[in-house]
Amino acid sequence: MAAASRCDADMNPLSIVVCGETFPSAQMLLRERLRGDQVCVWRDRKALPAFTAAADVLIPMMFQIDGMVMDHFRPRLIQQWGSGLEGIDLEAARARGIEVCGVATTGSNAESVAEHVVLLMLALLRELPAAQANIRAGILGAPQGRMLAGRTVCLWGLGKIARAIARRLRAFDARLLGITRNPDAERIATFGLEACYSATERAACLRRTDVLVLCVRLNDETRGLVNGDVLAALPEGAYLVNAARGALVDYEALYLALCSGRLAGAGLDVFWEEPISPDDPLLKLPRTIATPHVAGVTDRSYGEIAEAVVRNIERLRRRGAALHREE
């Protein structure tokens, strides 16, 4: 059936394919809100031929959506669950006239990610894995942790999530620095920064940093942004926290910095391949604290994301203009 003829009436049921079986609560929320539509899950790229019918909407969940997938399903809309469209071939979508939309990183999503970043930071400073091991071993009064108060935290990237992080860190009496493409006095005041540096001045900022928090988007320019040179610019004993995208960090450089002890630890919620293999050597290092891409997975955040996704699907049903469309 041609894409243009799938919705003859405004309220006709739509065919919605969730691409990937990760983030199970997202699937549940979609089914609850789209009871009149056909919602199915495509779990494996190798199983693509099993889906013979066209789909009105594709919702990728950490799946690569390329031209071959688009030609198979012939969707009218590719709707990302959350932010970040790096898994979608945007040029292929434009060439086929397929709308691609995300969800704004505002509201409870930004607040949820900010809370999780603080969680990772505190877990690193207070050596949570060692503390858990000690309680099982009957050891009291160890390890000796470090306070967040008085530490210098660098926010690399000053968007909405970084602003939510900064607001929380000020309550901990942390000192804040920022790295952004366009540093100015307004950003310093808005984020409560001691100083703000451009990307070309980053070495000067990193030398002052106790905890580096990544808040930048992943694209061709930022892939591998945190490499050996960046990690070497940090003081010995610094920490890295990444709840943005795994590919922002050079894996080998991070592994070597942790093994050598130059980095005191890394708090990671995102990875180079997701899900990361349980046998990945990085996860076996005592200085790594890892969580399964859950920074934005909270009740309020997912409720708002679900409403935004469903709102665009309803606009598609009624032939309205989509929101947060990638141009």
What does the H/E/C string look like for 28-96?
Answer: HHHHHHCCCCEEEEECCHHHHHHCCCCCCEEEECCCCECHHHHHHHCCCEEECCCCCCCCECHHHHHHH
Q: Which two tokens stand for residue 320?
A: 């309205």
Show Cβ contacts of residue 174 under 8 Å, excluding neighbours closer than 6 positions: 148, 149, 150, 151, 152, 153
Alpha helices, DSSP H only, in 74-183? 90-96, 107-125, 128-137, 160-171
CB-side neighbour CA atoms (13 Å) of 253: 17
Query: What's the CA gap between 18 and 27, in Å, rounded?
Result: 8
3-state secondary structure of 318: coil
Active-site residue (options: 245, 287, 304, 317)? 245
* Distance between first and last Cα of the chain: 27
Respond yes or no: is residue 326 known to be catalytic: no
Give the active site residue among 151, 293, 304, 317: 293
The single residue of 86, 115, 274, 326 carrying the catalytic annotation is 274
Q: Can you say how many angstroms the Cα of residue 214 is from the centroid of all Cα atoms in its chain?
A: 10
Could you confirm whether 116 is annotated as catalytic?
A: no
Active site residue 324: no
The identity of residue 101, as a single letter, is C
Residues serving a catalytic function are 245, 274, 293
